[in-house]
């Protein structure tokens, strides 16, 4: 496909790889189209496990790229001849093919490598891109163990136009583009690819299975003396499963069968599901100890495929349909992928999942084209069904018999039968709180959205406050209620305050007949399992982490110490709900994902370069004035602030005690102001001195921008009315309001000359970017954005303003003459998979040409669910080990 050279980028001081189209192909329109398509494919992908592209160049051949064409049979380039080249990330290390030549890869190492390959393919498939030539030679492993998938020269799909230029993308081919030839590498071709039929992402899944098999055994899954022999083997034979090591987990054997299913319709449909199987297998101690014999390999593969598929789930659901935990039944895992163009609801921090007590039914709220709707999934069925009349639904929960689903919508609490029919209103609920629960006696308790809890009969009526002996508790922010199975006590989450030193939510249980509260400890969303455990969302540790602790349901007290059971559970933005639910049968369902964002440098054309290998919950970041350091807020909450040294690749903690966020550098770059537990502090950027409080008030305030002379600090604050105003704090002075209206103003940024302040406001009904003079803000106001925008940032010379509009970074030229301000027409610079919330999640380097952005976690859009049947048995095993 091309000649590849190691090269030095003298402008940015880094080594790169240069891929040049051979001279013999420069006049071949198909080869040219394929070369250009590879550039577009790579430009559309940005993933730590995919080799990146830095640019496309065209110019006269010189140096080692130019040599006499006769020496290479007309393959080389003459000096001065035009050369087309891709500038690529230089990936050090050996290829996977080199590694396999030394022998089989140990099982645990092979599964780790395969997991990273699956992540890379998942990112490509999300963009509609099929690699079509996945093989060990196109996979490199860096000295740090990072896997990089390379060479997308045969890729198809993705952005519009990628399959144009006369290449028949439905007729995959190797070598040329003449009709009837084959594109790819024979031992890794899927049956449909080998036949020259239409291919999709399932052809990559087949190749992934071949690569995994080869790592585990040390030889190819399908081989032959010639290409024709190899293709015949692919079409007619099964891989030799007896060659697999005896300690390959049964789930991985089943995964291989699903990947290497010759019928594409029966093959694994989503590579993301493979990653889940690999993760679970690596975490599990249960491994196969007896290799299959050659004579039984086909029966073994078929059986394992069935065990890993729907049949196992159906059997498990049937076994638990009596609501009794059967410890003899195996722990069973499966993945559910939501239908196309649907994802779990993430609006408002909701928890969109609920399992029926017997574990047979799953209710969830999903969005399609912006509309939320309640879906019911029988776990022994293939497809979910929308529940009639549930548009706008939120916070579903089941009745004790599993025949009804209650939910909030249209300012009411409603219930809908699992058998169908129109929902029945129960009561008014104009403000949606967080969750509800249904007792065996027909009482429903729910969070009304402000203070306390309300109760109402499931048959309907007027809700009444749920009171206890502690009036102060009744006035607290109580949420996520859940009745214990006998209905005599109620679990709830209590808003921050009881554990003030952590500033976190707390778990509590209320005895209903005595009205007495029992405090349990920090945490949120507690759910009870009859195995005698509470599972809950742990706060202040890894994002989306679930903990389990023993619980005596009679004494209403904890037993033993809590322990971690799961992390990277998807969590809604802004400290919202963790997406999980448990059933009294012992089943667990959760959405995988979490805050695993990355920091990237992006030029004005949208080309991205990683700034760090870290994958964390980055947000609210600011570059130091010299552009050498980055202050960034990191979730999970309570959030921390760290300082990254970009040049050295090091980092230090700046503020890690309590909840800290919203850093703002002083103009000299020596200190950083930030919010900590509601107050404004500042500290030296090297963390060599103790933090000092700059401002304390009765509500949270968020520092945003210093004036160039360091005299003023602009910040915004939170009102109880859910709006924000912009204030100014003068050094050694008192704070005063700067822009205070009935609307919300935030994201304030002072211009480099200190004469103007840019900010966003929703005064028009949507967020737009505005500019006012500073400090005399009443002397004028100009609208900068034209179709919505937020988070303005000035260019270092003050001649441009940037802001976010949906997923796009916009640029506006600025003409300032005296007291007059003129904004040009906004122009879109680039968009991408960036975190584009209302937070200030980007900044500009001093060169005025590149930006630092927060690249969103690819799992930030929850479209998959993991189901574990008999999970309570696994908990018992974990509890014994802890």
So which residues are the catalytic ones? 133
Strand order in the sheet with 516-522: 478-483, 489-499, 504-511, 516-522
Of the candidates 732, 734, 659, 737, the one whose C-alpha atom is nearest the C-alpha of residue 700 is 659
Residue 827 CA: distances (Å) to CA of 38, 794, 809, 849, 851: 27, 15, 9, 15, 16
**Element housing 44 (H / E):** helix 29-44
Residues 26, 77: Cα–Cα separation, whole Å: 10
- Positive or negative, the CA dihedral 110, 115, 121, 125 is positive
What pairing do the DSSP bridges indicate for beta strands 361-368 and 343-344? Answer: antiparallel
Query: Residues for the chain: how many in total?
Result: 882
Please say whether the beta carbons of 508 and 470 come within 8 A.
Answer: no
11 contacts: CB under 8 Å, gap ≥ 6: none
Residue 74 CA: distances (Å) to CA of 23, 85, 577, 877: 7, 18, 63, 67
CB atoms closer than 10 angstroms to residue 566: 21
Whether residue 566 has a cis bond before it, omega within 30° of 0:
no
User: Residue 604 has what DSSP assignment?
Assistant: T
What pairing do the DSSP bridges indicate for beta strands 53-60 and 82-89? Answer: antiparallel
- ∠ CA 613-38-46 to the nearest 5 degrees? 20
Task: Take residue 328 and report the two structure tokens written for it.
Answer: 């003899």
- ∠ CA 37-43-46 to the nearest 5 degrees? 135
380: left (phi over 0), alpha (psi -120 to 50) or beta: alpha
Residues 17, 53: Cα–Cα separation, whole Å: 9
Q: How far is CA 89 from the centre of its chain?
A: 24
Please say whether the beta carbons of 770 and 784 come within 8 A.
Answer: yes
């Amino acid at each position: 496909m091309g000649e590849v050279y190691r090269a030095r980028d003298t402008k940015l001081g880094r080594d790169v790889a240069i891929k040049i189209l051979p001279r013999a192909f420069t006049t071949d329109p198909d080869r040219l189209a394929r070369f250009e398509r590879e550039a577009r494919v790579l430009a559309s992908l940005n993933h730590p496990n995919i080799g990146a592209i830095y640019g496309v160049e065209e110019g006269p051949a010189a140096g080692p790229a130019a040599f006499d064409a006769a020496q290479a049979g007309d393959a080389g380039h003459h000096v001065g001849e035009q050369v087309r080249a891709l500038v690529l990330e230089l990936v050090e290390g050996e290829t996977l093919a080199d590694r396999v030549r030394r022998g089989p890869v140990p099982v645990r190492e092979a599964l780790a490598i395969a997991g990273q390959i699956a992540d890379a393919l998942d990112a490509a498939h999300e963009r509609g891109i099929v690699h079509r030539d996945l093989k060990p030679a196109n996979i490199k492993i860096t000295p740090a163990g990072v896997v990089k998938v390379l060479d997308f020269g045969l890729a198809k799909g993705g952005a519009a136009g990628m399959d144009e230029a006369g290449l028949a993308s439905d007729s995959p081919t190797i070598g040329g583009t003449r009709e009837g030839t084959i594109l790819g590498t024979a031992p890794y071709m899927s049956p449909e690819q080998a036949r020259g039929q239409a291919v999709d992402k399932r052809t990559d899944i087949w190749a992934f299975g071949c690569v995994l098999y080869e790592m585990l055994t040390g030889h190819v899954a399908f081989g032959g003396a010639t290409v024709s022999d190899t293709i015949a083997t692919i079409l007619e034979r099964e891989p030799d499963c007896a060659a697999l090591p005896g300690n390959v987990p049964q789930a991985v054997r089943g995964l291989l069968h699903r990947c290497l299913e010759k019928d594409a319709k029966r093959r694994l449909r989503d590579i993301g599901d493979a990653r889940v199987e690999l993760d679970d297998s690596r975490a599990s101690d249960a491994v196969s100890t007896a290799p299959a014999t050659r004579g039984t390999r086909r029966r073994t593969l078929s059986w394992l495929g069935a065990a890993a598929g729907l049949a196992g789930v159906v059997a498990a659901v049937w076994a638990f349909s009596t609501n009794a935990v059967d410890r003899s039944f195996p722990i069973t895992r499966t993945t559910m992928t939501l239908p196309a163009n649907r994802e779990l609801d993430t609006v408002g921090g909701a928890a969109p999942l609920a399992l029926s007590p017997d574990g047979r039914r799953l209710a969830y709220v999903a969005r399609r084209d912006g509309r939320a709707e309640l879906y019911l999934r029988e776990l022994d069925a293939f497809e979910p069904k929308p529940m009639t009349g549930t548009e706008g639904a939120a916070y579903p929960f089941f009745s004790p018999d599993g025949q009804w689903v209650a939910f909030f919508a249209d300012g009411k609490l409603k219930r809908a039968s699992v058998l169908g029919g129109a929902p029945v209103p129960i009561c008014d609920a104009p403000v949606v709180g967080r969750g509800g629960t249904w007792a065996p006696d027909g009482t429903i308790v729910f969070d009304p959205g402000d203070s306390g809890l309300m109760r109402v009969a499931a048959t309907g009526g007027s809700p009444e406050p749920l009171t206890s002996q502690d009036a102060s508790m009744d006035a607290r922010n109580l949420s996520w209620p859940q009745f214990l199975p006998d209905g005599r006590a109620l679990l709830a989450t209590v808003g921050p305050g009881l554990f003030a030193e952590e500033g976190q939510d707390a778990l509590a249980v209320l005895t209903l007949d005595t009205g007495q509260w029992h405090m349990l400890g920090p945490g949120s969303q507690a759910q009870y399992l009859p195995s005698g455990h509470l599972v809950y969302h742990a706060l202040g540790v890894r994002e989306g982490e679930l903990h389990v602790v023993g619980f005596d349901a009679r004494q209403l007290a904890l037993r033993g110490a809590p322990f971690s059971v799961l992390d990277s559970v998807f969590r809604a933005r802004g400290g919202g709900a963790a997406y999980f639910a448990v059933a009294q049968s012992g089943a667990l369902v959760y959405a995988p994902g979490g805050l695993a964002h990355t920091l990237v440098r992006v030029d004005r054309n949208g080309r991205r370069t990683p700034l760090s290998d870290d994958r964390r919950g980055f947000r609210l970041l600011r570059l130091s004035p010299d552009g050498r350091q980055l202050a960034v807020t990191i979730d999970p909450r309570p959030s921390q602030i760290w300082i990254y040294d970009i040049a050295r690749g090091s980092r230090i903690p700046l503020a890690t005690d309590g909840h800290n966020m919203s850093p703002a550098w002083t103009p000299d770059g020596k200190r950083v102001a930030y919010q900590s537990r509601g107050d404004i502090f500042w500290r030296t950027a090297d963390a060599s001195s103790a933090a000092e409080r700059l401002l304390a008030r009765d509500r949270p305030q968020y520092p945003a921008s210093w004036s160039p002379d360091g005299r003023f600090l602009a910040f915004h604050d939170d009102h109880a009315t859910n709006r924000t105003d912009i204030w100014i704090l003068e050094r050694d002075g008192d704070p005063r309001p700067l822009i205070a209206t009935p609307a919300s103003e935030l994201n304030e940024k002072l211009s480099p000359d200190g004469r103007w302040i840019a900010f966003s406001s929703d005064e028009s009904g949507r967020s737009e970017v505005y500019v006012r003079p500073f400090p005399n803000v009443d002397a004028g106001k100009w609208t900068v954005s034209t179709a919505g925008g937020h988070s303005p940032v000035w260019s270092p010379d003050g001649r441009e303003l940037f802001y976010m509009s949906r997923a796009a970074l916009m640029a506006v030229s600025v003409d300032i003459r005296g007291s007059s301000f003129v904004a040009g027409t906004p122009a879109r610079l680039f968009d991408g998979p960036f975190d584009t919330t209302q937070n200030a999640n980007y900044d500009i380097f001093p060169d005025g040409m590149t930006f630092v952005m927060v690249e969103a976690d690819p799992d930030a859009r929850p479209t998959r669910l993991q189901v574990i049947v008999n999970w309570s048995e696994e908990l018992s095993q974990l509890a014994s080990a802890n």
